[in-house]
Amino acid sequence: MDLVPALDEPLKKVLGPPTAKVMAEHLGLHTVGDLLHHYPRRYEERGQLTHLADLPMDEHVTVVAMVAEARLHSFASAKAPRGKGQRLEVTITDGSGRLQLVFFGNGVHKPHKELLPGTRAMFAGKVSVFNRRLQLAHPAYELLRDESEEAVESWAGALIPLYPATAKLESWKIGKAIQTVLPSAQEAVDPLPESLSEGRGLVPLPEALLKIHRPHTKADIEDARARLKWDEAFVLQVALARRRHADAQLPAVARRPAPDGLLTAFDARLPFTLTEGQQQVSREIFADLATEHPMHRLLQGEVGSGKTMVALRAMLAVVDAGGQAAMLAPTEVLAQQHHRSIVEMMGELAEGGMLGGAEHATKVVLLTGSMGAAARRQALLDLVTGEAGIVIGTHALIEDKVQFHDLGLVVVDEQHRFGVEQRDALRGKGKQPPHLLVMTATPIPRTVAMTVFGDLETSVLDQLPAGRSPIASHVVPAADKPHFLARAWQRVREEVENGHQAYVVCPRIGDEEDDPKKGKAKSPEDEAEKRPPLAVLDVAEQLAKGPLKGLSVEVLHGRMHPDDKDAVMRRFAAGDTDVLVATTVIEVGVNVPNATAMVIMDADRFGVSQLHQLRGRVGRGSAPGLCLLVTEMPEASPARQRLGAVASTLDGFELSRIDLEQRREGDVLGQAQSGARTSLRMLAVIEDEEIIAQARQEAAALVERDPELTELPGLRTALDALLDEEREQYLEKG
């Protein structure tokens, strides 16, 4: 069935080319249907005003307020040397705070006539700071006149929708465009099965669209939101349920470990017992591997919860059953690290075909892009003959040349760093689809797991193995309290004097290629943002000559030659280096139990989950860890609040909630993590946990009954709209 013509109508025809162009370029809106689904961000009551006290810096805002005073000033400038320059300063108030508006030059005449004290209007513009006071320069404004004969009370109570807007298109202009297309809402085809919407008391879709854009009461808004959230959750969960259903139809080779094989031999030589959680998750994985459909499992575990051990046991089980296992790591440093630690854990079990190898041994090979030709040839040969049961590598594993004897399991480490195409290419190397285990150390709240990884079963490791130490985290406000930074370096020296080591992490490398445009600021929260982020090469030099003089300081970053990187990591792991100054290449998987301190420079430039990951590199041994978050951000800034949150808890799940609440969800389906358009416009994955869980159940039951959705043309239409080309591929490749 085609999309409904009325909703498919290009905006160019309805609103004219200039407006349509701005909507397409800045808001990603192309059709009448797109515009109807561009919902208000919030509503203002005319009688009740926005809090001017809470304005966010550097954002486009729309406020409803009253003019308190207006003053016209004359001044001399280069353009108006005789004191003929004019500046209009208007102060508006909403009871919670005051805000200054400024207009210059010829732009002062109209507002000077219109913005008289006592006038109420909507103002839109970008919030900036001048002389330590918030202001809007040259804001657009719309006077709120009572044009009809309505009673004052109903006028004051009317709800004004405020839309996500841009500098080129103010909220009220979007509102007017929506009023033009609103009659088309009657044509909207309902994607929800009737039994579902009636059973849950949801209003019909056309009514929901009318109420969201033109509510008369707050109850209208609630009705509309409840309905539109269900649409989003349900259509998304149906897409994921169909994906799971299709996967369940695929054939796979069941892989059951031999009773007294490699896995048994490995378990027997472990110097510790697995945690309860590791045992439970292993049982779930082995049950999946024993079925004749490919496993699709997401293993999420806190940094250091022992995911690698669980993955290794799964790989050994597959090798036991005659297959091969491949582990895909996002960086060479990490691939080498995994290879080293797995070979160490396995001992003589990793020496298959060699003298001294154990009876059940297999070969564990490493395959990365920078290996020498001879070593690479040997690794490829070991894979194609089946000599190597386990291969660990970067995306070099995906190249056409790489052939497996019998690929049975793919383990992907740090899922979010791999493109779907890459995983897909590796999965295509099995004679039948291999089993897939995806690991992440970024804790994902349950609802996000249901939404983003809805086609994967989820296992969670949340206990830390015995012997891991607590990590103390503190924010170091370098600008407000420089002596705190001096003390930080002193603490690093103390750790080294006690026989330990430290990391210093910087956002940038510092060789020219990497140098961002000097004047470019990421966000003018503060002067701190005006300079380029601190760089590894500069910081290492300053520390070696200054506060850490006399200690051995080395650098590590992504553009070094792989052999050099490996040599640096080996020296650090061996304890020959006191302080390693690095970029985020150490974020994942680097394991040096003797490193107890970490100083993160310009910590505000990193995301919450990234800081949590980095911090997980210390406290990996028996000595307590210390993580210092250095920032020049002012105390009240959102960046400082974010760092405060990271310092206050070690619970990754709690942090991932905070992170999500601050960042919103990005495009949950596709790879577009930002931008004006997201497949979730109404649904907030944290708040709407219940709706998502219920929608998942309903979707699974529906797809079980009718995988092709033959009885629900409206739902198929909505799925087509959701799964445009790019997202369709994304889901296809899972």
523 contacts: CB under 8 Å, gap ≥ 6: 58, 529
pLDDT the model gives residue 588: 57
Residue 346 exposure: Cα atoms within 13 Å on the Cβ side: 29
Measured distance CA(411)–CA(439) in Å, rounded: 7
**Hey, is 39 helix, strand or coil?**
coil
Q: Average pLDDT per run of 10 along the chain, which is 734 residues long?
A: 62 88 87 89 64 71 85 75 78 85 86 90 81 83 62 54 79 86 88 90 93 91 93 89 85 89 90 88 95 90 80 95 91 85 88 66 89 90 92 83 90 66 71 87 72 77 71 90 91 94 89 47 43 83 92 88 85 92 74 90 87 84 89 84 87 74 50 40 76 90 90 83 55 45
Q: Among positive and negative, which fits the CA dihedral 274, 279, 280, 281?
A: positive
pLDDT the model gives residue 658: 74
pLDDT the model gives residue 353: 65
pLDDT the model gives residue 76: 67
265 contacts: CB under 8 Å, gap ≥ 6: 349, 358, 359, 360
Phi, psi of 197 (to 5 degrees): -65, -35
Kindly list the distances between the CA atom of residue 265 and the CA atoms of 288, 324, 350, 364, in Å, as whole numbers in the listed order. Answer: 22, 18, 12, 16
Measured distance CA(600)–CA(424) in Å, rounded: 36
pLDDT the model gives residue 521: 41
On whether the CB atoms of residues 365 and 387 are closer than 8 A, the answer is no
Tokens in use for 10?
């290009």
For the whole model, what pTM was predicted?
0.65
- Residue in the block written with tokens 């006399």: 550
Measured distance CA(37)–CA(35) in Å, rounded: 5
Measured distance CA(679)–CA(450) in Å, rounded: 15
Q: What is the DSSP letter of 140?
A: E
Burial of 255 (0-12, 13-18, 19+ CB in 10 A): buried
pLDDT the model gives residue 115: 92
pLDDT the model gives residue 1: 34
End-to-end CA distance of the chain: 26
Question: Position 729: which residue type?
Answer: Q
From the centroid of its chain, how far is CA 546?
37
Q: Residue 655: which H helix or E strand, with range?
A: helix 652-663
pLDDT the model gives residue 206: 93
Measured distance CA(135)–CA(228) in Å, rounded: 36
624 contacts: CB under 8 Å, gap ≥ 6: 469, 470, 471, 472, 596
**3-state SS string over 375-424?**
HHHHHHHHHHHCCEEEEEECHHHHCCCCCCCCEEEEEEECHHHCCHHHHH
